[in-house]
Amino acid sequence: MKHVDIAVIGGGPAGLCAAISGASSGAKVLLMDRSEKLGGQLIKQTHMFFGSEKQYASVRGFDIADILLDKLNEYKDNIEIMNNTNVLGLYEDGVITIERNEKYEKIKPKSIVVATGASEKVLAFPNNDLPGIYGAGAVQTLMNVYGVKPGKRVLMVGAGNIGLIVSYQLMQAGVEIAAIIDASPTIGGYLVHASKIRRMGVPILTSHTVKEAIGRDCLESAVIWKLDENWNPIDGTEQEIETDVMCISVGLSPLSELLQQAECKMKYIPELGGQTVLRNENYETSVEGIYVAGDVSGVEEASSAMVEGYLAGLCAAQKIGFKHKNYNELKEDYIKQLESLRSGPIGHHIRSGIEKVMGV
């Protein structure tokens, strides 16, 4: 059994920041990630981030990953990185089990930050298992991590930020976008993202959904139809769209299985993406010593995931006796940053979701 002060599960924006924060407080941190390269979803984000300077606004996502890795490196004496590591279990006695190098190991940390992120939701329609139908995240990985064009003509399903951003990046890679459709009557993503792809000539069809996918061995076309104001499809509005790649981008759900296994109290909160863990303002769950940060604590933007990571890492360290010398100032600053990122109309659903997770 390996003993550490803080175990951080997940090396995306939230996990990296939690590790930096814990280590800068003086704790010995073990950072685990299933991938070869740390950074989580940041490494495939080729667009500039929003937010303020504190969350690296205007810097491209993959460059933010490098900035965070450099910061991590400043505390290398306090941080052990285990990449290519699958966390298998999180038990009620606080033991973490992992698989790496085809070996099974056990870890006993004093506190834990779970930053496992989120997974893509699926959409039910006939033939949704045809090859050529992807989650938008998978397409972004293929394209921006591995340099593989997924196909020639894409139908994007979902006009949230991910759908809009991946569409734009597909166009940058020379792939045609047949259309972006969304069942909602309005565009869910930032309108600036919508406008920049619309002015490339891509139609954005709100109040539209997929009726069925068509193809023998792989996707050949898709039939979409219009929805009325009660979200019911309207007969006779079907359009067949020739496409070899359909990207499903209809939202994310927190990847909370480890938290459920550890018996953290959960609640179904649609605003935050589904089954969400309850927590307090320090991002500690109902199980003492288990903290959360990033999308697993409620699906939001990477900017807030980073701030949550810093806050959770700071508090997880303080809990076990490693109080950062600027603990109070830092904590106050992180809380303020989160409040300001969430304070506008766009943050409304996040605020209402967070009201429901607070108080353990």
Partner 1 sequence: MLIKTGIPTIEDIKSVFPSEDRINKGPVAVIECYQEIPCNPCFTSCNRNAIKDFADINDKPLIEDELCNGCALCISACPGLAIMVVDGSYSENEVLIKIPYEFLPLPKEGDTVKGLNRAGEYITDVKVIKVQNPKSFDKTPIIHIAVDRKFLYDFRNIKVEEV
Where along the sequence are the contacts to partner 1 (CB under 8 A)?
47-53, 57-60, 171-172, 185-187, 190-202, 204, 206, 303, 340-347
Instruction: In whole angstroms, give the CA distance from residue 181 to residue 157.
Output: 5
Shorter beta-carbon distance to partner 1: residue 168 or 291: 168
C-alpha pair distances (Å), 268 with each of 61, 261, 342, 353: 30, 16, 21, 10
Query: How buried is 58 (Cβ within 10 angstroms: 0-12 exposed, 13-18 middle, 19+ buried)?
Result: exposed
CB of 347 to partner 1, least distance (A): 7
Instruction: In whole angstroms, give the CA distance from residue 151 to residue 246.
Output: 9
CB of 205 to partner 1, least distance (A): 9
Shorter beta-carbon distance to partner 1: residue 94 or 189: 189
Q: How far is CA 159 from the centre of its chain?
A: 16
Of 341, 297, 298, the C-alpha closest to 315 is: 297
Instruction: In whole angstroms, give the CA distance from residue 110 to residue 128.
Output: 44
Shorter beta-carbon distance to partner 1: residue 86 or 352: 352
CB of 291 to partner 1, least distance (A): 24
Neighbours of 358 (CB within 10 A): 11
Q: What is the token pair recorded at 296? A: 């697993």
Instruction: In whole angstroms, give the CA distance from residue 62 to residue 248.
Output: 23
Shorter beta-carbon distance to partner 1: residue 94 or 347: 347
Shorter beta-carbon distance to partner 1: residue 29 or 162: 162
CB of 180 to partner 1, least distance (A): 9
Nearest 5°: CA angle at 138, between 31 and 10? 10
Shorter beta-carbon distance to partner 1: residue 323 or 349: 349
Shorter beta-carbon distance to partner 1: residue 24 or 304: 304
CB of 66 to partner 1, least distance (A): 13
Q: What is the token pair recorded at 218? A: 């792989």
Shorter beta-carbon distance to partner 1: residue 249 or 303: 303
CB of 15 to partner 1, least distance (A): 22
Phi, psi of 357 (to 5 degrees): -95, -15
User: Helix or strand or coil: residue 190?
Assistant: coil
CB of 193 to partner 1, least distance (A): 7
Shorter beta-carbon distance to partner 1: residue 150 or 163: 163
The DSSP secondary-structure symbol of 225 reads E
Phi, psi of 96 (to 5 degrees): -105, 135
CB of 342 to partner 1, least distance (A): 8
C-alpha pair distances (Å), 342 with each of 23, 58, 216, 275, 350: 27, 18, 46, 21, 7
Instruction: In whole angstroms, give the CA distance from residue 316 to residue 18.
Output: 9
CB of 18 to partner 1, least distance (A): 21
